[in-house]
Structure 1
Amino acid sequence: MNIEAPQITLFEDSHIEHCKNVLKKEAQIEDVVRALRDNVGDKHRTEQTEVVTEIAKRERKVFKTRAAAAIDRHLDATEDGTKASELAINKGLLNFVSLITPNIRLRARAGSGKSTALVIKCDFLINELGVAPEAIQLLTFNRSASNDLSKKLRKALGDKVGKRVGVNTFHSLAYHILNCCPQTQHLKLIFKEEDRSQKEQLSDLEAIVVKETTARDFAAYRERYEGTSYSYMTRFENFDQSIRDFVTGATALYRARRGTPTPLKHNPVTRHLERVVAAYEARLRQSSTLDGEAGLREAARILESDVDLANLNRIDEGIQPLFTRLGGGMQFLFVDEFQDFSAAFAEITQGVMARNPNCVMNAVGDDWQSINAFMGADLSFFNGMKKTHVASLNLPLHSNWRCGKRIVELGNRVMGASKATAAVPALPHDGKIRVRVGDIQNFKRKKEEWHAEAQDFLEGHINNMAQAAWADDLRAGRERGTVVLLAAQNSPFSKSLQAYAKMIDTTEGGKVTTSTSHASKGGEWDHVILLDGTASHYPSAHPAEPAQRDMIKRADLEEEGQRLLYVAVTRAKYTLSILAPTELHPKLNAALEIARR
Structure 2
Amino acid sequence: MAATDQHIEQLLEGLNPPQREAVTHGDGPLLILAGAGSGKTRVLTHRIAFLNHTNRARANEILAITFTNKAAQEMRDRVEGLLGRRARAMWVMTFHAACARMLRAEAPRLGYTKQFTIYDQSDARRLLKRCLDDLGVDPKRFTPGAVHNQISDAKNKLRDAEAYKQLMGSYFEQTVAEAYELYERELLRNNAMDFDDLLVRAVNVLELFPEVRDRYGSAFRHILVDEYQDTNHAQFRWLELLTTQHQNLAVVGDDAQSVYSFRGADIQNILSFEEKYRDAAVIKLEQNYRSSQTILDAANSLISHNRAQKPKHLWTDNGAGDPIKVRELDDEHAEARYVVGEVDKHVDEGGSLSEIAIFYRTNAM
Mapped contact 2:128–2:148 kept (Cα < 8 A):
no
Structure 2 equivalent of residue 170 of structure 1: 95
| Alignment partners' CA distance in 2, 1:95 and 1:305 | 38
Q: 2:86 aligns with which of 161, 172, 182?
A: 161
Q: CA deviation at 1:163?
A: 2.4
For 2:356, what is the secondary structure of its paired residue? strand
For 1:161, what is the secondary structure of its paired residue? helix
Q: CA deviation at 1:290?
A: 0.5
Structure 2 equivalent of residue 404 of structure 1: 292
Deviates more, 1:162-171 or 1:336-345: 162-171
Structure index of larger Rg: 1
Return closer, same or farther for 1:360/1:412 CA change in 2, 3 Å cut-off. same
Q: CA deviation at 1:172?
A: 1.3
Q: Mapping of 1:3-42 within 5 angstroms?
A: none
Structure 2 equivalent of residue 363 of structure 1: 251
Structure 1 equivalent of residue 31 of structure 2: 105
Q: 1:73 aligns with which of 11, 23, 36?
A: 11
For 2:325, what is the secondary structure of its paired residue? strand
Which segments of 5 or more consecutive residues in structure 2 lack a partner in the other structure? none
**Residues 538-583 of structure 1, C-alpha deviations (whole Å, 9 max, x = no match):** xxxxxxxxxxxxxxxxxxxxxxxxxxxxxxxxxxxxxxxxxxxxxx
Q: CA deviation at 1:111?
A: 0.7
For 1:401, what is the secondary structure of its paired residue? coil
For 1:152, what is the secondary structure of its paired residue? helix
Mapped contact 2:131–2:182 kept (Cα < 8 A):
yes
Query: Residue 227 of structure 2 aligns to which amino acid in structure 1?
Result: E
Q: CA deviation at 1:371?
A: 0.9
Q: Mapping of 1:550-561 within 5 angstroms?
A: none
Mapped contact 2:255–2:270 kept (Cα < 8 A):
yes
Return closer, same or farther for 1:458/1:483 CA change in 2, 3 Å cut-off. closer
Q: Mapping of 1:517-596 within 5 angstroms?
A: none
Q: Mapping of 1:195-594 within 5 angstroms?
A: 198-209=121-132, 241=140, 243-244=142-143, 247-248=146-147, 250-259=149-158, 267-268=169-170, 269-306=172-209, 326=216, 328-354=218-244, 357-416=245-304, 421-435=311-325, 437-441=327-331, 451-464=332-345, 470=351, 482-492=355-365
Q: CA deviation at 1:309?
A: 5.4
Structure 2 equivalent of residue 61 of structure 1: none
Return closer, same or farther for 1:307/1:252 CA change in 2, 3 Å cut-off. same
Mapped contact 1:251–1:276 kept (Cα < 8 A):
no
| Alignment partners' CA distance in 2, 1:482 and 1:71 | 38
Q: Percent identity?
A: 17
Q: CA deviation at 1:452?
A: 4.5
Q: CA deviation at 1:378?
A: 0.8
Query: Residue 286 of structure 1 aligns to which amino acid in structure 2?
Result: R
| Alignment partners' CA distance in 2, 1:249 and 1:466 | 47
**Residues 193-252 of structure 1, C-alpha deviations (whole Å, 9 max, x = no match):** xxxx6332222223434565868xxxxxxxxxxxxxxxxxxxxxxxx8365366245325
Return closer, same or farther for 1:154/1:189 CA change in 2, 3 Å cut-off. same
| Alignment partners' CA distance in 1, 2:287 and 2:10 | 17
**Residues 253-293 of structure 1, C-alpha deviations (whole Å, 9 max, x = no match):** 53244249xx9975315444333333322321232211111
Structure 2 equivalent of residue 189 of structure 1: 117
| Alignment partners' CA distance in 1, 2:263 and 2:235 | 12
Query: Residue 205 of structure 1 aligns to which amino acid in structure 2?
Result: L
Return closer, same or farther for 1:70/1:213 CA change in 2, 3 Å cut-off. farther
| Alignment partners' CA distance in 2, 1:243 and 1:249 | 10
Query: Residue 154 of structure 2 aligns to which amino acid in structure 1?
Result: R
**Residues 282-325 of structure 1, C-alpha deviations (whole Å, 9 max, x = no match):** 32123221111112111122123437559xxxxxxxxxxxxx97
Return closer, same or farther for 1:274/1:421 CA change in 2, 3 Å cut-off. same
| Alignment partners' CA distance in 2, 1:330 and 1:175 | 16
| Alignment partners' CA distance in 1, 2:275 and 2:310 | 22
Return closer, same or farther for 1:256/1:304 CA change in 2, 3 Å cut-off. closer
For 1:435, what is the secondary structure of its paired residue? coil
Aligned pair count reads 350
Which segments of 5 or more consecutive residues in structure 1 lack a partner in the other structure? 1-65, 77-83, 85-89, 192-196, 216-239, 311-323, 442-450, 472-479, 493-597
Mapped contact 2:113–2:191 kept (Cα < 8 A):
no
Return closer, same or farther for 1:206/1:306 CA change in 2, 3 Å cut-off. closer
Normalised by the length of structure 2, the TM-score is 0.81
Query: Residue 398 of structure 1 aligns to which amino acid in structure 2?
Result: E
Query: Residue 124 of structure 2 aligns to which amino acid in structure 1?
Result: Q
Normalised by the length of structure 1, the TM-score is 0.52
For 2:243, what is the secondary structure of its paired residue? helix
Matched, 1:119 2:18: no
| Alignment partners' CA distance in 1, 2:225 and 2:39 | 15
| Alignment partners' CA distance in 1, 2:347 and 2:236 | 43
RMSD (Å) for aligned C-alpha atoms: 3.5
